[in-house]
Amino acid sequence: MNEENKKVNQYVNELNKKYCWANHKNLDKFYSLNKKSFKHMKQIYKDVEPSFILQFGIILPIDNPFGENEFSTFKIFEDKNKLGFSFHFDTLKEKSFFYIGKPLKYRKAFETYRTRCEISIVMKSSIIKIDDKIYNIEKDMKIIKQAKLKNEEDLLSFYKTSQRVFTAQKYLQQIAIDDLNEVLLNYAFISEDDNICSINRDNIEFASHFRGISVSNWETYNWMTVHNVQAYPREHCSNFDKEIFGHSLLNRLDRNLFFEFKRNLQDSRYLLSKGSTVESLIKMNTSIEVLLTQILALYWANEEELEIDEITKKIDDIPFKKKITVELPKILGGIWDITKKEKPLNEWYENSYILRNRIVHGGYMPEMKEVYNSQRCCYNFINYVIDLMNKSKYEYLHGLNSVEKLEIKIMNI
């Protein structure tokens, strides 16, 4: 190791020892799922048989409706490895300002609320497969913790092992964010809460701590990483029936097949509530196209036993108008004549779908009354389609707007 690398390494180590809160000896007590609480939760995770836990936090750009100090958990399965995802929500009360004239002359403080969600991924095995490569995040974290950087070769090995940890962490983190999105969007879809939007990695704190835990002896491995974050405060929402939260707590193998429809629909509502009317209109029509396409895909997969490649080709080959006037009536029944006035399909097609195309392809800027009329027609058409789905003879099309009765594990810590 050359002198410059030695100085850098020494400087970083000193900073970590002196300033990094991740090295706090009592860090475990700051987490909701910690050594003490885990002893009381073994029954919840008995089907997972956990050996390793990965924990990190994420800032929600809104204040969630589930209340504080609620600890809810459910099981999913990835690559035959059993995983349990637990979400713990806490409200962040923050101070914001509005300004009159020059900011330095006068400002007035007011409180805003956001939410931090602690996510714990409870794993049966720390070995995961990513793009045909095998990663053992627990083993690699342990190697880094015990590393002795004596020479250039040690430093190179340290770097490569660190990269494996970050790769595995980001992979698991994205799965967790996807499932948290299901929790939020399923709640929003049922409750019609316009303040909920989908989240992504941008919502992770700027300087983010994550840690791994070997369950057998509760040895912890503390890590720090850096992200970009942009937050959007909102007014505090009220609590909502826990069954709505439970609607999302499904085994991953049985996850709702219409998730992308819900995502686009909810993002449309959110954009409209924030004043982005044109973007909202485009998203709303996208959600309808996704819904109709997913109905066709499910039908072709179940009734015609087509493979995914065949379904994709069929979707690409059949013009959109033919899909809604020829293919969908065979599956759902109902009225699918675009020219039939004052019917849900006709109203949506003329007042929203065509308007959306004018905006996207011609740069047209609609008036507000056009936007709201378009939204009304979209909702009417969506309700019409879902009603036909629930009445159809195909059970896999039922229950899109229902809340399932599920056992929900909720603990106050």
Look at residue 190 and tell me if it is in a domain: yes
Residues 164, 294 share a domain:
no
Residues 273, 208 share a domain:
no
Cα–Cα separations (whole angstroms), residue 86 to 55, 107, 254, 305, 321:
9, 40, 18, 36, 44
Count CB-CB contacts under 10 A for residue 152. Answer: 11
- pLDDT attached to residue 18: 52
Quick one: pLDDT band at residue 406, thresholds 50, 70, 90?
A: very low
Look at residue 100 and tell me if it is in a domain: yes
Q: Is the pLDDT of residue 285 over 90?
A: yes
Instruction: Find out whether 355 and 368 touch, Cβ atoms under 8 Å.
Output: no
Look at residue 309 and tell me if it is in a domain: yes
Which of 249, 281, 301 is the last residue before a domain boundary?
Answer: 249
- pLDDT attached to residue 272: 80
Place of tokens 């029944």: 333
Look at residue 243 and tell me if it is in a domain: yes
Residues 348, 226 share a domain:
no
- pLDDT attached to residue 154: 78
DSSP state of 275: T
Look at residue 77 and tell me if it is in a domain: yes
Residues 96, 58 share a domain:
yes
In tens, the pLDDT along 298-336 reads 899 889 888 888 888 898 899 988 999 999 999 999 999
- pLDDT attached to residue 29: 83
In tens, the pLDDT along 43-60 reads 777 777 889 999 988 888
DSSP state of 206: S
Q: Is the pLDDT of residue 118 over 70?
A: yes
> Which has the higher per-residue pLDDT, 410 or 368?
368
Which residues, 6 or more positions from 157, have their beta carbon under 8 angstroms from its beta carbon?
A: 147
- pLDDT attached to residue 413: 35
- pLDDT attached to residue 112: 82
- Domain around 40: 3-249
Residues 88, 227 share a domain:
yes
Two structure tokens written together for 216 = 């057998």
In tens, the pLDDT along 213-228 reads 999 999 988 887 755 3
Written as one letter, the residue type at 279 is: E
Q: What is the mean pLDDT of residues 195-218?
A: 79
Residues 245, 261 share a domain:
no
Residues 229, 113 share a domain:
yes
Cα–Cα separations (whole angstroms), residue 172 to 54, 79, 153, 177, 179:
9, 12, 29, 9, 11
Q: Is the pLDDT of residue 173 over 70?
A: yes
Of 162-176, 187-201, 288-302, the poorest mean pLDDT is in 187-201
Residues 270, 175 share a domain:
no
- pLDDT attached to residue 217: 92
Summarize the chain as % helix, strand, coil (round to 5): 50, 20, 30
Residues 278, 244 share a domain:
no
The total number of structural domains that make up the chain? 2
Residues 229, 289 share a domain:
no
**Global pTM exceeds 0.75:** no
Look at residue 405 and tell me if it is in a domain: no
Residues 206, 124 share a domain:
yes
How far apart are alpha carbons 188 and 396 in whole angstroms? 22
Instruction: Find out whether 331 and 393 touch, Cβ atoms under 8 Å.
Output: no
How far apart are alpha carbons 286 and 347 in whole angstroms? 16
> Which has the higher per-residue pLDDT, 155 or 332?
332
How far apart are alpha carbons 232 and 284 in whole angstroms? 22
